[in-house]
Structure 1
Amino acid sequence: MTPVEIRDCIRQAAAACIAQDGQAFAALFHPEGELVLPGSRIVGKGEIEQVTTKYLGTCENIRIQIQRVIIDGMQAVVEWLWLDEKKSGQFSYAENAIVVDFQEGLIVRWREYTDTKTQFCPLETL
């Protein structure tokens, strides 16, 4: 993959989350890909689709702001800001650092580190 293709894949992942489309998010993964989130490890495209569809279904009005993407070969590090409103009416804000590994044009590993305490930018900018 070229750096342009890697950046495009990351933008597609963000767009899938914003659209609350777990199927589109999972489609970016290798069949045996893994999604590692704080406290959980999900393996396989089917499981990734199931888990992300369920989680995204609890959200409304998701906003993501990509802060930076650093690419080194077939790996990327992404910083993005995430804001969503839960169906309960509460807001969820997180600053995420995501390490993404690619193989054959697909994500083989997405490892997310989440900070929900520090606020890098005002929420109204998202």
Structure 2
Amino acid sequence: MYSWVVFVIFGLVCIWLTGTATNLPPAHASLPNRSITMHLPETQSVDPEIQQLVARQAKAWETADSNKVIADFADNCLFVVPGSKFKSKQEIKEAADSYFGNFTDIQVTIKRIIWKGSEGAIEWAWSEKDRETGKESQAEDAIIFELEGSQIKYWREYIDKESNQG
């Protein structure tokens, strides 16, 4: 059920923003036909600065570099993941360092970026390996973010680990 919630939230964000999107194929392109029909605006290129910011965030997590994770965040920011809220760059850094202590081999695949004005959405796939057990896991992640100038002031992740379980 949680995977449908993420899908619906991301779909609503797509409709709400009706902004520009990358020219990558939609993540749902390989899914079997369903009875849900959604008409999205024609895709266009996203501002290169936004693409670079998203790529920097993905790379910072892949390289386990908490200083690079927080480099794009404003001093007064909010970072939300299921079950946790971090209200400053320092709190985000501490959470990232804790995460990196528990997980390795992080891979992020950016699937889609939608951007309009100062707000956007990201869809990316995430994989990781638990350092203690060696167990690998994957998740689909929809992210809503907002910039203040060129810095992230709001970042909220809707993580779906269920639809990737075989």
Fold shared, TM-score > 0.5 on shorter chain: yes
Count of residues in Structure 1 that have an aligned counterpart in Structure 2: 120
User: Structure 1: which amino acid aligns with 2:125?
Assistant: L
Structure 1 or 2, whichever has the larger Rg, is 2
Partners of 1:107 and 1:86 in 2: how far apart? 28
* Aligned with 2:84 (options 40, 55, 59): 40
* Aligned with 1:57 (options 78, 101, 113): 101
CA shift for structure 1 position 57: 2.3
Unmatched 5+ stretches in structure 2: 1-45
CA shift for structure 1 position 84: 0.7
Q: Which has the higher helix share?
A: 2
Unmatched 5+ stretches in structure 1: none
Partners of 2:100 and 2:118 in 1: how far apart? 27
Q: Which has the higher strand share?
A: 1
Q: Equivalent residue of 2:153, what SS?
A: strand
C-alpha RMSD over aligned residues: 1.7
Matched, 1:115 2:153: no
Q: Is the 8 Å Cα contact of residues 20 and 57 (structure 1) preserved in structure 2? A: no
TM-score of the aligned structures, taking structure 2 as reference length: 0.69
Partners of 1:64 and 1:78 in 2: how far apart? 12
Q: Percent identity?
A: 30
